[in-house]
Amino acid sequence: MLKSIAPQEEVDERTLVLRAIARDQAAFGALYDRHVVRVYRHIYYMVGNPAEAEDLTAQAFLQAWQAIPRYQPRAAPFVSWLLRIAHNLGVSYLRSRKQNAELPETLIDHSRLQNPEAALDQRLNSERVHDAILKLRDEHRKVIILRFVEDLEYREVAEILGKSVAAVRVIQHRALNALRKQLKAEGATELAANG
């Protein structure tokens, strides 16, 4: 018989993971509840399609449940391991569709913006950054998404991508430089077109 899980705050992650490794479905269910939104968001940012992101999220948790007996709690945080599974599924999906990963349009809370001109400027800037990120090399785009959209630490990004922390720092540095150059060049192009 399955024991019920206490509210999320009362049971620490490590305990849930150890119980899930022992094939405790309720513990895995609690881990699912804690991380499903993050996994979905990560996949959605990669594939840009809500329905596909839902399917891939379900697949990620199914794969995690199947593989959890092999998970080593001392190796990487559970969420990093889970996001790596999600990331690999997203990459496989994109390869099968031969599409570039896309970031969704930045959501803007228009109710907070009282100035329509400011709202338009913010939207145009968001679209400009979005388009510039899409033009980055695949590796650069992945690091930008993981570091700045998912807000992961270097160590977690390294684990997900299978790289060293030093390599992730270098990739991030190069990606930000490429992004700056691209935005600057596009700004100059816009000025020339409007002038």
Lowest mean pLDDT among 8-17, 54-63, 94-103, 177-186: 94-103
Hey, which of 105-119, 122-136, 173-187 has the most confident mean pLDDT?
173-187
pLDDT the model gives residue 122: 67
Fold agreement between 7-102 and 106-195: no
Q: What is the CA radius of gyration of the chain?
A: 20
Q: For the structural domain made of 7-102, what CATH number should be given?
A: 1.10.1740.10
Each domain of the chain, given as residue ranges in start order, spans 7-102, 106-195
98: left (phi over 0), alpha (psi -120 to 50) or beta: left
Cα–Cα dist 27/130, whole Å: 38
pLDDT band with cut points at 50, 70 and 90 for residue 102: very low
pLDDT tens, 133-180?
Answer: 778 888 898 898 888 877 888 988 888 888 999 999 999 999 999 988
CA angle 192, 193, 195 (to 5 degrees): 60
Residue 3 in this model has a pLDDT that exceeds 70: no
Cα–Cα dist 124/29, whole Å: 41
pLDDT the model gives residue 108: 44
Residue 52 CA neighbour count, 13 Å, CB half: 17
Instruction: Say if domain 106-195 classifies as CATH 1.10.10.10.
Output: yes
In whole numbers, what is the pLDDT of the chain averaged over residues?
79
Cα–Cα dist 55/40, whole Å: 9
Mean pLDDT of 4-28: 79
Cα dihedral sign, 11-22-30-54: positive
